[in-house]
Every structure is written in structure tokens, then in C-alpha cells.
Amino acid sequence: MASKEQIVDALRNNDRALYKALVLLNRRQTPDEQASEMTRYVNRRGFNAAHAKRGTSMANFFLRTGFLTPKQKAWWRAHEGIGGQMRIAIYSGQLMEEAANKAARVALRQRLQA
């Protein structure tokens, strides 16, 4: 399984990783949050309140077009806040959780096929 540092490095340097992260985070939003492009629940799933509108919009844009503009990618990779980490990096915990879930599903599938 990937470490937090590996995930953050991929988000910084790999456009596909950024795209996959945005789509995954959008899918973690509840259906009503997706529809309203707002965060309605404090459940630590999907985008936070500050990023919900832009995150949902950009995830949907990517799903329609298959790309993000350089400006959109730069916005997610920009540093913000007191810690000064990339905007997208604040979601590394959720991305690690999803990676662990995926690894568990793959391992289970392999055991069932053996």
C-alpha cells in the first residue's frame, strides 16, 4: 500500500493521480452533497466545505471532458493554509483509506479464486 508521502508525491507530479483523486472524493460525497455542490454533513468524506463547490464542479468537468485545464490543476496543487500543503494533499487520509479498501478487495478476490 502507498504511503502518505507517495500519495502526495503522485498528486503533485502525476495528472492522472490528481484526476482520480477528484473523482474519488466526489464519489465519497453523499448524493445530496453532489447535487447541491455543498458539504452538508461533518462525516470526513469527500470535499470539505471550502472545496465542495469547486471540487464537485471540476470532478464533473473531468468526467465530461477527460481533462482539467492547467489553471484547474494548478489550483488543486497550490499551497494554502497554515500548514502550507497542497489543497489536494489535505485529502491524503481519505485517499489512503480508499487505497487500503481497494487492496483488501483485490486480496479477497485473489483468495476466492485460489
How large is the average pLDDT for residues 12-41? 94
Over 90: is that where the pLDDT of 107 sits?
no
Query: Residue 61: which domain range?
Result: 4-113
pTM to 2 decimal places: 0.88
Tell me the pLDDT tens digit for each residue of 86-105: 999 999 999 999 988 888 88
Asked if residues 56 and 26 have their Cβ atoms less than 8 Å apart, the reply is: yes
Give dist(CA 102, CA 44) in Å, integer.
19
Model pLDDT, residue 102: 87
Structural domain tally of the chain?
1
How large is the average pLDDT for residues 80-88? 85
Helix (H) or strand (E) holding 85: strand 85-86
How large is the average pLDDT for residues 38-60? 93
